[in-house]
């Protein structure tokens, strides 16, 4: 790499770190972390440390580059999400959460959304024996953190000129196929731009999601899962739902996805031992910061943003 290029990057990073937007956004993010962890601990969740490398990670449902590390002859992936680790933990812990750094080497075209980084943190949680309704209502209660943020970070929100609305509960629930037939392919963006409060997209069709989201036994092809979408055009906030836990269902779903048992052999072995019904969700911390502060781009919610396709520190 040429010195000129290195100098340009150093300048870019120094300018970014000096921005008052970053300072105020990180103060808000710091409050988000403490308020959410206090909220969850009050509800008997235990915080567990994140997993950074593993022989098992989320296959995701969209293409990303896939880095692996060869370590003493074993192939480890960088964590894309802790979905499987969360599910395994519910065998021994009723309620867990983690601030999980995720590496998703997103394709360059994702930059245009303003909400994709190649490295971000998910507040990821899981509840043994829970239903989708349980995690939806937990999510709605958690969003009440807006009230506390408005108090503790009044100065920061003033800096952004952000008049944060406290959404009324319960949030609206819209079925995926209804949204699709009314607004077409781009429904998420259209609805997000139109709405004034966060809303749920529920009942996502099976082929749109990974194999571990539970298919509704009474409605084949429909999953018992959900996304929370921010209003004002900020897009997806979180994804979650109930999990497949029966061995035969897991294997069938892996095949349906065109994936192999070999890819998920570790998980299958645990499923043979028996997994629990559980439900949970993961919410992106930088996106939450972006929404609360009203930032145009997610980069201002991270001191060292990894911008897809762009050289980053
Ligand atoms: P997923 O399970 O893929 O929906 O990811 C869970 C949550 O993590 C999403 O709802 C987002 O809030 C966040 N997230 C996912 N991918 C990214 C990304 N590339 N950059 C920032 N946040 C992300
Ligand atoms: Mg999602």
pLDDT tens-digit readout, 21-69: 999 999 999 999 999 999 999 999 999 999 999 999 999 998 899 889 9
pLDDT of 280: 98
C-beta of 117 in contact with ligand 1 (< 6 A): yes
Q: Which are the contacts of 91, defined by CB distance < 8 A and separation ≥ 6?
A: 128, 274, 275, 276
CA distance 207 to 223: 9
Domain count, the chain: 1
Residue 68 belongs to a domain = yes
pLDDT of 235: 98
The DSSP result for 19-63, as a single string, is -HHHHHHHHHHHHHHHHHHHHHHHTT-EE-PPP-EES-----SS-
- Ligand 2 centre to CA of 227 (Å) is 6
Residue 224 belongs to a domain = yes
Residue 233 belongs to a domain = yes
Q: What is the pLDDT of residues 229-263, one digit of tens each?
A: 999 999 999 999 999 999 999 999 999 999 999 99
The whole-model pTM stands at 0.97
Burial 190-229 (b: 16+ CB within 10 A, else e): ebbeebeebbbbbbbebeebbbbbbbeeeeeebbbbbbbb
- Are 95 and 127 within 8 A, CB to CB? yes
C-beta of 284 in contact with ligand 1 (< 6 A): yes
Residue nearest to atom 19 of ligand 1 (CA): 116
Residue nearest to atom 10 of ligand 1 (CA): 238
Is pLDDT above 90 for 1? no
- Ligand 1 centre to CA of 212 (Å) is 17
Residue 8 belongs to a domain = no
Of 21, 36, 291, give the one whose Cα is nearest residue 165.
291
Residue 166 belongs to a domain = yes
For position 266, which CATH number holds?
3.30.930.10
CA distance 17 to 23: 8
Residue 256 belongs to a domain = yes
- Ligand 2 centre to CA of 237 (Å) is 8
- Ligand 1 centre to CA of 267 (Å) is 22
Whose atoms come closest to the Cα of 111: which ligand?
A: 1
C-beta of 198 in contact with ligand 1 (< 6 A): no
Residue 174 belongs to a domain = yes
Q: Quote the mean pLDDT of the chain.
A: 97
Of 208, 212, 224, give the one whose Cα is nearest residue 254.
212
State mean pLDDT over 215-220.
97
State mean pLDDT over 146-159.
98
Of 253, 160, 261, give the one whose Cα is nearest residue 209.
253
Burial 147-164 (b: 16+ CB within 10 A, else e): eebbebbeebbebbebeb
- Ligand 2 centre to CA of 278 (Å) is 18
Count of other CB atoms within 10 angstroms of residue 114: 17
Pocket test for ligand 1, best of 282, 292, 297 (most atoms within 8 A of CB): 282
Q: What is the pLDDT of residues 9-19, one digit of tens each?
A: 999 999 999 99
CA distance 296 to 207: 32
Residue nearest to atom 9 of ligand 1 (CA): 238
State mean pLDDT over 144-160.
97
240 CA closest ligand 1 atom index: 2
pLDDT of 63: 86
Residue 29 belongs to a domain = yes
Cα four-point dihedral sign 138, 129, 100, 113: negative
Residue nearest to atom 21 of ligand 1 (CA): 116
Whose atoms come closest to the Cα of 116: which ligand?
A: 1
Domain that holds residue 171: 16-301
pLDDT of 289: 98
Burial 123-143 (b: 16+ CB within 10 A, else e): bbbbbbebbbeebbebbbebb
pLDDT of 265: 95
Q: What is the pLDDT of residues 161-199, one digit of tens each?
A: 999 999 999 999 999 999 999 999 999 999 999 999 999
- Are 301 and 295 within 8 A, CB to CB? yes
State mean pLDDT over 272-285.
98
Is pLDDT above 90 for 219? yes
């Amino acid at each position: 790499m040429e010195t000129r290029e290195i100098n340009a990057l150093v300048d870019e990073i120094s300018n970014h770190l000096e921005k008052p937007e970053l300072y105020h956004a990180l103060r808000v993010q710091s409050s988000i972390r403490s308020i959410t962890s206090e909220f969850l601990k009050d509800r008997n969740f235990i915080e567990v440390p994140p997993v950074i490398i593993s022989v098992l990670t989320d296959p995701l449902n969209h293409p990303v580059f896939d880095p692996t590390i060869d370590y003493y002859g074993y192939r480890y992936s960088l964590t894309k999400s802790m979905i499987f680790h969360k599910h395994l933990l519910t065998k021994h812990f009723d309620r867990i959460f983690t601030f999980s750094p995720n590496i998703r080497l997103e394709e360059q075209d994702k930059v245009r959304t303003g909400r994709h980084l190649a490295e971000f943190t998910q507040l990821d949680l899981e509840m043994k024996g829970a239903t989708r309704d349980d995690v939806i209502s937990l999510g709605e209660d958690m969003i009440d953190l807006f009230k506390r943020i408005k108090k503790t970070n009044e100065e920061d929100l003033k800096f952004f000129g952000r008049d944060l609305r406290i959404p009324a509960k319960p949030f609206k629930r819209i079925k995926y196929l209804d949204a699709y037939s009314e607004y077409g392919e781009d429904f998420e963006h259209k609805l997000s731009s139109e709405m004034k409060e966060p809303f749920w997209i529920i009942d996502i069709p099976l082929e749109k999601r990974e194999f571990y989201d539970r298919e509704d036994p009474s409605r084949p092809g429909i999953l018992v899962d959900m996304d929370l979408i921010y209003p004002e055009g900020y897009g997806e906030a979180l994804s979650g739902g109930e999990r497949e836990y029966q061995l035969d269902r897991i294997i069938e779903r892996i095949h349906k996805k065109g994936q192999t048992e070999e890819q998920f052999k570790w998980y299958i072995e645990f499923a043979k031992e028996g997994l629990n019904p559980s439900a949970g969700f993961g919410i992106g911390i930088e996106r939450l910061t972006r929404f609360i502060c009203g930032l145009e781009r997610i980069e201002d919610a991270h001191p060292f943003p990894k911008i897809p396709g762009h050289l980053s520190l």
